[in-house]
Chain A
């Protein structure tokens, strides 16, 4: 899993621009003996034959896209007005480095110097729509030689080991899920299994909806990064989950009440195999599970997540052991027949 992770994280792929990350994944699975297909929306779906068939169609899902930014307007002086693709806390944007996906033009999100802020402005952060990106252009014409309205950008690639046993990078949400799936596809599987690498999760799970419709899975496992609130002073009851405590199993979030039977199976499997796991203890956030659960005739869903600090910023921080726990649990659970 780790061998794919850096390369995947460093690829620029905000929602709607997943071509490069998808090609990298195809490169890594094409010799695994799987069948794969890219649908009109850009989702990459994979079927891998196992030793046995099972009655239920089991699907493992991760999303390829990351949060990013899109150019809305370039003003007379060459400053770029923009907004976020997906949910980004405005306080992780101001002053940051970004890179445009097509032209690889670098930019800086302008931050009005503290000295020039009015007493009213001090301590507050303007909305992203009131910020601008500086690419060093002095006019719209100069800027337009490099970028145009609608161009997309992401945080600058910065994958690095951090602290003790941690990784810090942009886009670990959900390139880590992609890396786990690629790892699974490249192993010999007990049962026939479907996999999907989806587009556009960050802007409303549009990819998953389409995949759910087309594949009609019976059982879906969503591999995701989920917010860890285990920072200083947060009471245990509000942490959601904690780094280093293992794979996260959710009971419910804002989009899904997870299938009890799958949850129990996951707990049982984890305990049997000695895989570290934890419950997500707040009802917050959401992921593609909701779409799988409610599309067409519905499906049984479960999210297996890795706890992530500072998700949707340039500094997603995840634990290598937690990611491995997610991978181990996903693999172990897929050895079950689900009949």
Chain B
């Protein structure tokens, strides 16, 4: 578990708003190299990072583990008088969480910003009945315009800083767990494996732009050309007020294996049997339509790739305070390792 915490502490600190994944590459590459897991490491023009672990056997099939490296965030649309920044969101974000929240602005240097919160004397009579739009919010940098212009321009990405805070048990709060946490779980899974004893090569792709257009997963899966794929993402853990159909996935009960037309039924059933046999906790969910993950992009790459989707239950997704039970992340890592071993 402590190894997993270490990886999460590293992976969550790099910037990497969708479309700006390259900002994470240098530090990520350095860190991943230090773990000494992969025989080959690279990045792609579409914002993905990958590593390949070879078992050393000739013509060994390749198993791909996918998580996405990009996070939700914002992009500057106007640098304004008074040191304010207008923004647009990248990925789905609820406007209600923004006022007075802290952000990192990844300009020529990284500076701090605070979303403006409307003072009470400017509230309208029906203030809270009105719908808020993310783009109506803007950021205060506290800097004079000229100085701000020398650091930030239209197109500069903005994200929530990840402040990790342990809560009771193994619960951990932070930002960008979607999906850096899953990248960490994959790396942890690979650490369980003795590559010489495997019958397969294993690739880890940390794909770009999942939060927007899935192009990272599509193109990296094409490049790596795997025989099977496991997509690891986060899913909503049940919280009060969530739809009843979501009660099936709760924090603390293990990774969530998803049955969907956008995954491979046979591979999924096989994986469930592996979990049962190994006594690894898991939960089940279904996605009759889109899974909202990279599974479809990976599954439809080249001639089609049998794809399994497993997700780590997460609360407060797409906020500055995403919340995970790290037991679930570790169980998901164990599950991924067990499936790879069983192939």
Mark A residues whose CB is within 8 Å of B.
Answer: 75, 77, 79, 87, 89-92, 94-97, 105-117, 122-126, 130, 132, 134-138, 142, 146, 156, 158, 160, 162-164, 166, 168, 227-232, 234, 238, 240, 282, 284-285, 309-311, 313-315, 317
A111 touches B323 (CB 8 A): no
Residues of chain A lying within 8 A (CB to CB) of residue B83: 163
Q: Which residue of B lies closest to A98 (CB)?
A: B321
A228→B119 contact, CB < 8 A: yes
List the one stretch of B6-14, B167-175, B180-188 in contact with chain A: B167-175
Report which of B82, B98, B114 forms a contact with A162, defined as CB distance below 8 A.
B114
3 closest A-B pairs by CB = A163-B142, A136-B171, A136-B167
Contact A89 B321, beta carbon cutoff 8 Å: no
Known contacts: A94-B96, A95-B316. The answer to whether A134 contacts B117 by CB under 8 A is: no
What are 15 residue pairs bridging A and B, where the CB atoms are less than 8 Å apart in the complex? A91-B132, A92-B117, A94-B319, A95-B97, A105-B168, A108-B316, A111-B319, A112-B94, A114-B318, A123-B95, A134-B239, A229-B121, A230-B82, A285-B121, A317-B114
Task: Say whether A110 contacts B119, CB under 8 Å.
Answer: no
* New A-B contacts (8) at CB < 8 Å, excluding given A111-B321, A113-B318, A115-B292: A89-B100, A92-B100, A108-B315, A108-B316, A114-B94, A114-B317, A227-B121, A317-B140
From residue B318, how far is it (CB to closest CB) to chain A in Å?
A: 6
Determine the distance from Cα of A311 to Cα of B118 in the docked complex, in whole angstroms.
Answer: 10
The CA-CA distance from A138 to B121 in the complex, in Å, is 41
A106 with B112, Cβ < 8 A, contacts A114-B93, A163-B143 known: no
A77 x B240 contact (CB < 8 A): yes
Judged by a CB distance under 8 angstroms, whether B282 is at the interface is no
Could you tell me which residues of chain B, from 244 to 288, have a CB within 8 Å of some CB in chain A? 246, 252
Contacts A95-B319, A111-B316, A116-B242; A240 near B142 (Cβ below 8 A): no
With A89-B99, A114-B94, A116-B243 known as contacts, the answer to whether A106 contacts B138 (CB < 8 A) is no
Distance of A167 from chain B, by nearest CB (Å) = 9
Question: B241–A112 contact, CB under 8 A?
Answer: yes
CB pair A95–B241 under 8 Å, yes or no, is: no
The residue on A at minimum CB distance from B168 is A136
Residue from A75, A146, A311 within 8 A of B240 (CB atoms): A75
How near does chain B come to A98, taking the closest CB pair, in angstroms?
A: 10
Looking at chain B's contact residues, is the secondary structure mostly helix, strand, loop, or mixed? loop
Given the complex of chains A and B, what is the CA–CA distance between A287 and B319 in angstroms? 34
Q: Is the Cβ of B117 less than 8 Å from the Cβ of A108?
A: no
CA distance A337 to B194 in the complex (A): 84
B122 A110 Cβ-Cβ under 8 A: no
> Which residues in window 76-106 of B have CB below 8 A to A?
80-84, 86, 92-102
- Write out the residue numbers on chain A whose beta carbons fall within 8 Å of the beta carbon of B93: 114
B163 within 8 A of partner (CB)? yes
Which chain B residues have a beta carbon within 8 Å of chain A's beta carbons? 80-84, 86, 92-102, 112, 114, 116-122, 128-129, 131-133, 138, 140-144, 147, 163, 165-169, 171, 173, 236, 239-243, 246, 252, 292, 315-321, 323, 325
CA A105 to CA B166, docked complex, whole Å = 10
- Asked if A113 contacts B317 (CB within 8 A), the reply is yes
A323 to B114, CA, bound (A): 20
A111 to B118, CA, bound (A): 20
> Please, how many angstroms separate the alpha-carbon atoms of A158 and B165 in the complex?
13
With A115-B236, A162-B142, A232-B81 known as contacts, the answer to whether A91 contacts B168 (CB < 8 A) is: no
- Do A96 and B120 have beta carbons less than 8 Å apart? no
Q: How many Å lie between the Cα of A311 and that of B84 in the bound state? A: 18
A110 touches B316 (CB 8 A): yes
A315 contacts which chain B residues (CB < 8 A)?
100-102, 114, 117
The smallest beta-carbon distance between A113 and chain B, in angstroms, is 4
A116 touches B101 (CB 8 A): no
A114 in contact with B92 (CB, 8 Å): yes
B114: contacting residue among A109, A117, A156, A168, CB under 8 A: A168
Q: Known contacts being A105-B168, A108-B321, A163-B143, is A87 close to B120, with CB within 8 Å?
A: yes
Provide the residues of chain B in CB contact with A314, threshold 8 Å: 100-102
CB distance from A114 to the nearest CB of B (A): 4
Give, as a whole number of angstroms, the nearest-CB distance from B242 to chain A: 5
> What residues of A have a CB within 8 angstroms of the CB of B119 in the complex?
227-229, 231, 240, 309, 311
A117 to B93 alpha-carbon distance, docked (Å)? 11
| Min C-beta distance of B157 to chain A, whole Å | 19
CB B92 to nearest CB in A, in angstroms, measures 5
CB within 8 Å for A160 and B112 given contacts A114-B92, A124-B132: yes
Identify the closest chain B residue to A107 (Cβ).
B167
What is the CB-to-nearest-CB distance from A83 to chain B, in angstroms, rounded to a whole number? 15
Across the two chains, which residue of chain B brings its CB closest to A105?
A: B168
- Bound complex: CA A309 to CA B84 (Å): 13
How far apart are B241's CB and chain A's nearest CB, in angstroms? 6
Enumerate chain A residues within 8 angstroms of B165, measured Cβ to Cβ: 97, 106, 108, 156
Interchain nearest-CB distance for A170 vs B (Å): 10
Q: Are A137 and B112 in contact (CB under 8 A)?
A: no
Q: With a CB–CB cut-off of 8 A, which chain A residues contact B144?
A: 164
- Look across to chain A and name the residue whose beta carbon is closest to the beta carbon of B316: A111
Bound form: Cα–Cα A95–B99 in Å: 11
In Å, the complex CA distance between A162 and B83 comes to 12
Q: Are A232 and B317 in contact (CB under 8 A)?
A: no
Known contacts: A114-B92, A115-B92, A163-B83. The answer to whether A310 contacts B100 by CB under 8 A is yes
Partner of B117, one of A87, A115, A310: A310
- The answer on a CB contact under 8 Å between A79 and B240 is yes
Chain A residues with CB under 8 Å of B142's CB are 162-164, 166, 168, 317
Query: CA A89 – CA B120 in complex, angstroms?
Result: 8
Q: Which residues of B contact A162 (CB under 8 A)?
A: 112, 114, 142
Tell me the nearest residue of chain A to B167, going by C-beta.
A136
Bound Cα distance from A115 to B163, whole angstroms: 23
